[in-house]
Amino acid sequence: MRIENISKLGLLIKKLCFLRINNSQFSILNFQLALILALTSCTTTSMVRENANARYEEYKSAAKYHDEAEKNYLILLENLERFPKDQHLLTRKQILRKEIEQNRLLMLQARSEFEKALQEWDLTVQKMETGLPRDSIDLRQIFGLPSPKDTMLRHYE
């Protein structure tokens, strides 16, 4: 785990311990569930990074197939220059043209998915830099605890 994630996890555990002490409804089971939620939230960045890396590998693979098809097309054109009347080369030329176009479309689609994954990763990093929570999950609502406003009103009544 990265240092930032560990420090955020420590703060979350301190908050949860405070809730447990101040509210008798907060049990050990709820604390364990909150700890599991906190640990899984620490791995969110790596999942976003893995998604971006996977999209990059897909893009590289699509670009590789496109480049190979273009090289084969260049070789075919050289052969057509030498043998312009060869029917097999002429049909192969049409097939390779279609293959190049399909590979180009696949490559462009993979590139756009890669760019979307990069934007998602960038947004996650920006949220971490500004200190905003990645998800707007309120643990009090999850575990059925009263909001801070409710507890403050009870103390003053």
Read off the pLDDT of residues 32-54 as tens digits, 9 standing for 90 and up: 666 665 555 555 557 888 999 99
Same domain, 2 and 34: yes
Same domain, 34 and 71: no
pLDDT value of residue 156: 43
Same domain, 66 and 119: yes
User: Within a domain: residue 125?
Assistant: yes
Q: Which domain holds residue 7?
A: 1-42
Same domain, 101 and 63: yes
Same domain, 97 and 126: yes
* Other C-beta atoms lying within 10 Å of the C-beta of residue 103: 19
- Range of lowest pLDDT (28-42, 85-99, 106-120): 28-42
Number of domains in the chain: 2
* Other C-beta atoms lying within 10 Å of the C-beta of residue 61: 13
Burial 107-130 (b: 16+ CB within 10 A, else e): beebbebbeebeeebeebeeebee
Average pLDDT, the chain: 75
Q: How confident is the model at residue 20 (pLDDT cuts 50, 70, 90)?
A: very low
Same domain, 35 and 65: no
User: Within a domain: residue 73?
Assistant: yes
Q: What share of the chain is helix, strand, coil (3-state, %, to 5)?
A: 85, 0, 15
- At 57, list the tokens: 């590998």
Same domain, 63 and 121: yes
User: Within a domain: residue 22?
Assistant: yes
Q: How confident is the model at residue 90 (pLDDT cuts 50, 70, 90)?
A: very high
Average pLDDT value for residue range 89-97: 95
CB 107 within 8 A of CB 66: yes
Same domain, 71 and 15: no
User: Within a domain: residue 83?
Assistant: yes
pLDDT value of residue 132: 56
pLDDT value of residue 46: 74
